[in-house]
Amino acid sequence: MNSIVLDPSGNLLFSFRNLSAIYNVDIRSGKVNWRLGGKHSDLKLGAGVATHGQHDAEYAGPNTIRVFDNNITGTQQLGTSSIKWIRLDLQRRTAHLVRAQRHPAGLSAAATGNAQGLSNGNTFGSRGTAPHISEFSPSGQLVYDATLPIGTYRAYLDTWP
């Protein structure tokens, strides 16, 4: 497990990197409400929704999850990493990709990374072991990028005091 947050109903949202799955668990009973991805997904995944070795699953709205998809299984990099916004329809038990934001240099992060939604609609985040922090517009345009000497687990954009 590499992240845990509350969902809008007060239940728990877990990201399990080694399972390539995100779980929603009832905070009172411990019962699994649903699983997104992995070998036993309870939701039908639309094109591009599947994550592999993901980090930092968080709610971006009542029915939308934002996650950093490392796109790696074990030690095999499957392609470029991306920040994914995934819309859930729990009544229909489906998940659809809203957008996937990839670094234009085709960066792949073997581990770590995060995605922060900003008030202007942009997305900021760490590329994990690919040593970059970046900001994207909702259309996927890279608006800020910095190369770091080493990777970073997570990065957040905030005002300096």
* Whole-number pLDDT of residue 75: 87
Domains in the chain, start-ordered, CATH in brackets?
3-147 (2.120.10.30)
Strand order in the sheet with 32-37: 3-6, 12-16, 21-25, 32-37
Average per-residue pLDDT in the chain? 96
* Whole-number pLDDT of residue 82: 96
Span 1-24, average pLDDT:
96
Shortest CA distance to 49 belongs to which of 7, 86, 94? 86
Shortest CA distance to 78 belongs to which of 106, 45, 43, 40? 106
CB 157 within 8 A of CB 146: no
> Could you tell me the pLDDT band of residue 124, with boundaries at 50, 70 and 90?
very high
* DSSP code at position 46: P
CB 88 within 8 A of CB 36: yes
* Whole-number pLDDT of residue 159: 87
Give the CA dihedral 78, 80, 83, 84, nearest 10 degrees. -50
pTM score, whole prediction: 0.95
Counting Cα atoms < 13 Å in the Cβ hemisphere of 15 gives 24
CA–CA distance, 55 with 96 (Å, rounded to integer):
18
